[in-house]
C-alpha cells in the first residue's frame, strides 16, 4: 500500500516545480517521519516554504495537505501490520545483537518487502515486457555490474537475443541494432554511475522500453523508466546488498519460466546439445 503513494509521485514528478520535486523526494524517502509532521516542518526539512508543501498536495490530486497526510498515515498503518504479521515473534523475545545477526535480519526485512502489492504488479509487467521483446540489452556499471552479468547469463539461458553492455563501452553500437520492440534493462544502485544513466536516457530518446532495477522509485533511472523495480528502499546500513538485488531478479526469471515455458524448453534443448557436443561441463 505504501508504494501506491510513491507511484503517484513518480507519475506526477516530471510536471512538478523544482520546489515541489524537493518535497516529493523528501516524502517518498521519509514517509514514516513525514506522516506526522506539519507542512511547515516538512518544508524546513525539504528546504522549501510551507506553501510549496501545500501546493504539492494539490498537484498530486489531493484536496489539501491534510488529505495527503491522512493517506500516507493509512498506508503506513497497513504496511506496519503486514510487516509485523510476516515477521512473527521469536520464542523467547531475545535477539543476539552481533554483526551477522543484524545483517541477516536486515536481509529478511528487505526480502519481505519484495512482495509488496505494487512491486509484484511491476514484476509481472517486467516479465511480460521481457517475453515480448525482440531483443534485450542489459547495462549495469560499477557496483551494479555483478547483477547485470547475472541477469544477462540467466536470460540468455531462457531465450535468444540477449546482450550485455561491457564496461569498456559498446552501448551505442548495440543500441543501433535495437527496435521499438526491444527492451533496455538498466541496473543502478548508489553511488549511481553516470554511464548507466546515459544509457537510460538514450534508450528513452529512441523510444525503447526502459526497465530499471534500482533502490528507489525516484532514483535517477527510476524517474524516467517505463517500469521500475525497487529493492532496499530506505536501507539503514548505508551499503547495497547484491543478495537482495539477485533475489528480485530471480522473481523476474521465475515469472518468465511460468509464462514462456514452451519457448524456454526449445531454447534450452538447443543449448544442451551445444553443451554436450563441446564438453562444456564436468559431469
Distance CA 45, CA 104 (A): 32
> Could you tell me if residue 138 is inside a domain?
yes
Residue 89 pLDDT: 46
Residue 124 pLDDT: 93
DSSP 8-state class, residue 133: -
Residue 154 pLDDT: 93
Pinpoint the alpha helices (H) of the chain. 2-12, 18-29, 31-34, 39-46, 50-59, 65-87, 99-112, 117-132, 145-156, 171-175, 194-205, 220-224, 242-259, 261-277
Same domain for 65 and 124, yes or no, is no
Distance CA 220, CA 153 (A): 26
CA angle (261 as vertex; 259, 262 as ends), nearest 5: 125
In CATH, what number is assigned to the domain containing residue 30? 1.10.10.10
Q: Which of 144, 147, 130 is nearest to 183 (CA)?
A: 130
Quote the domain boundaries for residue 69: 2-82
> Could you tell me if residue 105 is inside a domain?
no
Residue 119 pLDDT: 78
Could you tell me how many residues make up the chain?
283
> Could you tell me if residue 268 is inside a domain?
yes
Does the reported pTM lie above 0.75? no
Same domain for 26 and 140, yes or no, is no
Which residue ranges of the chain lie beneath pLDDT 50?
1-2, 86-87, 89-96, 234-238
Beta bridge partners of 211: 185, 227
Amino acid at each position: 500500500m505504501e508504494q501506491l503513494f510513491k507511484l503517484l509521485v513518480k507519475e506526477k514528478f516530471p510536471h512538478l516545480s523544482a520546489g515541489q520535486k524537493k518535497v516529493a523526494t523528501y516524502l517518498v524517502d521519509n514517509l514514516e517521519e513525514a506522516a506526522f509532521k506539519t507542512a511547515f516542518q516538512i518544508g524546513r526539512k525539504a528546504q522549501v516554504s510551507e506553501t510549496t508543501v501545500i501546493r504539492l498536495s494539490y498537484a498530486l490530486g489531493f484536496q489539501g495537505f491534510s488529505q495527503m497526510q491522512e493517506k500516507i498515515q493509512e498506508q503506513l498503518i497497513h504496511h506496519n501490520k503486514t510487516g509485523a504479521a510476516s515477521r512473527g515473534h521469536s520464542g523467547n523475545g531475545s535477539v543476539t545483537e552481533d554483526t551477522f545477526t543484524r545483517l541477516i535480519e536486515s536481509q529478511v526485512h528487505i526480502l519481505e518487502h519484495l512482495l509488496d502489492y505494487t512491486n509484484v504488479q511491476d514484476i509481472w509487467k517486467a516479465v511480460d515486457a521481457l517475453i515480448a521483446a525482440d531483443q534485450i540489452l542489459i547495462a549495469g556499471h560499477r557496483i551494479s555490474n555483478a547483477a547485470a552479468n547475472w541477469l544477462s547469463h540467466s536470460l540468455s539461458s531462457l531465450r535468444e537475443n540477449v546482450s550485455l553492455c561491457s564496461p569498456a563501452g559498446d552501448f551505442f553500437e548495440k543500441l543501433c541494432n535495437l527496435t521499438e520492440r526491444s527492451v533496455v534493462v538498466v541496473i543502478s544502485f548508489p553511488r549511481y554511475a553516470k554511464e548507466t544513466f546515459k544509457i537510460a536516457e538514450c534508450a528513452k530518446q529512441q523510444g525503447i522500453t526502459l526497465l530499471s532495477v534500482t533502490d528507489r522509485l525516484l532514483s535517477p533511472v527510476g524517474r524516467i523508466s517505463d517500469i521500475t523495480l525497487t529493492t532496499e528502499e530506505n536501507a539503514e546500513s548505508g551499503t547495497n546488498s547484491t543478495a537482495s538485488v539477485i533475489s528480485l531478479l530471480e522473481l523476474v526469471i521465475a515469472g518468465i519460466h511460468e509464462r514462456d515455458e514452451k519457448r524456454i524448453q526449445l531454447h534450452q534443448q538447443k543449448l544442451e546439445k551445444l553443451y554436450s557436443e563441446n564438453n562444456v561441463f564436468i559431469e
